[in-house]
Chains A and B, each alone.
Chain A
Amino acid sequence: MGKAMSWVDRLLGREEKSGATAKKRLQMVLIHDRSDVSPGVLAQIKDEIIQVFVKHLDINPEDVVVNVDQDERESRLVAEVPLMALHANGRR
């Protein structure tokens, strides 16, 4: 969770309010509820997708980002593979 708040932040009310925390937590839990994919399985799928790119392309694992995107009531896994980085790595 969030890092400790300084007394200045507390005084100025900069701590995240519980309403905002509730929204974030709900958005996360509903990804798993809706897809019936547990958090652990989702993390494993992400890992394996990244490994596929790393295996076939000369690329660093950190260059591949796999995220869950939400649109209305649909969630989808979106993989981003920067091709510029691919080129640069190929020359190394």
Chain B
Amino acid sequence: MSGKVITVTSGKGGVGKTTVTANLATALAMRGRKVVALDADIGLRNLDIVLGLENRIVYDLVDVVEGRCRLRQAMIKDKRHQELYLIPAAQTRDKSAVSPSDMVLVCNELRQEMDYIIIDSPAGIERGFRNAIAATDHVLIVTNPEVSAVRDADRIIGLIEAEEKGPACLIVNRVKPAMVSRGEMLSIEDIIDILAIQLVGVIPEDEHILIGSNQGTPVAMNGSNGASASQAFRNIAGRLEGEDVPFMELKAKISFLDRLSSLFN
């Protein structure tokens, strides 16, 4: 068996990399896949708390790399799923504790047992980012419909191409349909026009995401209880597995005044 390594990255911080990693790993595990989520954000570990596994950590990625434990010992099983594991980042070390070639070794070992290795990248374009893409088969770039996030995404796309790790795919997170329909937010079409890469996901702004993080229960686990973000993550999982899942129509509640003014445009 040879699993696929997927890196979730963005350039800019706070756009939703950890949220996407946690939910995508969850959604793929819910489809019966063997999945490991790997936190490459050394020194600023977060994937553990978003997945609700923070109290079960004994060993971390740096312990594996420095030979203090076997890889299996650092894989925390998420008991809510058949086969979902977390390899946490070290909290008290810095990015230089792991090298790109360490990442290749770790990922090659994981590939033999897992269907998917999903790597949560730190922000920035330095060592942590290099580590996160060292062994990647497929890069997912997360952005927000906002000028600085899109600009940083463009820079990352250029770097991924230069490293011959492309073509990268795009996830647009925190879309507010009402603002888009008022013309006060970049639309998905605008962002695709600008970045010229393939879209794999659109995630609306959704407070269920924060509620999920509060509880350590990724929103992708919420069945069909109305959270549109939950469906959005399951759709991305389907697309990554080659299904032709149509993009959800994000409906905006358009006010009478908005409609009136658009009549005159």
Which A residues are closer than 8 A to B by beta carbons? 12-14, 17-20, 22-23, 25-27, 29-30, 33-34, 72-73
Contacts and interface: CB of A to CB of B under 8 A. Distances in A.
Nearest to A73: B196
Contacts of B207: none
Interface residue tally on B, bucketed by range: 20 to 34
13 contacts: A12-B261, A13-B262, A14-B264, A17-B184, A18-B183, A19-B180, A22-B186, A23-B194, A26-B150, A26-B186, A26-B194, A33-B154, A73-B157
A22 B180 CA distance: 12
B127 interface: no
Interface of B: 146-147, 150-151, 154-155, 157-158, 161, 179-180, 182-187, 190, 193-196, 261-262, 264-265
A12 B264 contact: yes
B253 to A, nearest CB: 18
A58 to B, nearest CB: 41
Contacts, number: 55
Contacts of B265: 12-14
Contact of A13 (B150, B151, B264): B264
A26 B150 CA distance: 8
A64 to B, nearest CB: 29
Given A14-B264, A19-B183, 15 more contacts: A13-B262, A17-B184, A18-B185, A19-B179, A19-B187, A20-B183, A23-B186, A23-B193, A23-B194, A26-B151, A29-B151, A30-B154, A33-B151, A72-B196, A73-B161
A20 B183 CA distance: 7
Given A26-B150, A33-B151, A19 B190 contact: yes
A19 B179 CA distance: 9
A41 to B, nearest CB: 19
Contacts of B179: 19
Contact of A19 (B151, B184, B193): B184
Contact of B147 (A14, A25, A34, A72): A25
* Residue among A12, A26, A27 having the largest count of chain B Cβ atoms under 10 Å: A26
A23 B157 CA distance: 18
Contacts of B262: 13
